[in-house]
Amino acid sequence: MEKFRKALYVAIAVAVLVATACGIYVFGFSGAMDGVADSAASAASKEETGSDSSSASPSDTAGASSASGQAASDAQQASSSSGSAHTHMWRTEEKTVDVPAVTHTETVTTPGEDIVEYHTVCDDCGAYLDSQAALESHYRNYPSHAKNGYTIGVPVVTGQKPGKTETKTVVDSPATTKTVTVKTCTVCGAVEEEG
């Protein structure tokens, strides 16, 4: 008896599960069928009236306008991106350009010149004997010097003139010309120079 009762409970539970599953299936299927029927009826009424917009619901119109707006946006992005990217089409030509000289400046100091005077000098002691009176006085005071004599026109440095400081430009490489190749893109106008 106990076994029979357990079997009965199991059978009832299975029956309830099957019935629930069938009810869900039937309810979902019937709801889908209602939707198909509604759309078929809507299409039929459109054909009869000949006007799509009068029978379209607001949600259908909004969906259609949003889809068309998205398509337009995608087309605009595609056109703008295709317009900005391209392969350069180069046209080349050669031209001569001037290359300026390369220079630098240097400060140069020129030393001053010596100040030179010419004297008659005693060959014994080096005293200046520039006049006849100085010669006679010297030999009178130093009679032994007279035997060695004297020299006329001896250069004697008595001082120095100040030097000069000047800035001058030194050329490292002279100005010249060179030939370069200029490439111009015929699509976008970009310019590149080689050489």
What pLDDT digit, counting tens, does each position of 20-43 carry?
A: 766 665 555 555 455 545 554 554
Amino acid identity at 69:
G
Q: Which residues of the chain have pLDDT under 70?
A: 1, 21-84, 195
- Torsion-angle region of 50 (φ positive above 0: left; ψ -120 to 50: alpha; else: beta): left
pLDDT in tens, 94-107: 989 899 999 999 99
Residue closest to 107 by CA, chosen among 172, 170, 167:
167
Q: Give the model's pLDDT for residue 102.
A: 94
The SS3 call for residue 150 is strand
Closest among 171, 194, 22, 188 to 100, alpha carbons compared: 171
Type and span of the H or E element at 172: strand 164-173
Q: Tell me the pLDDT of the chain averaged across its residues.
A: 75
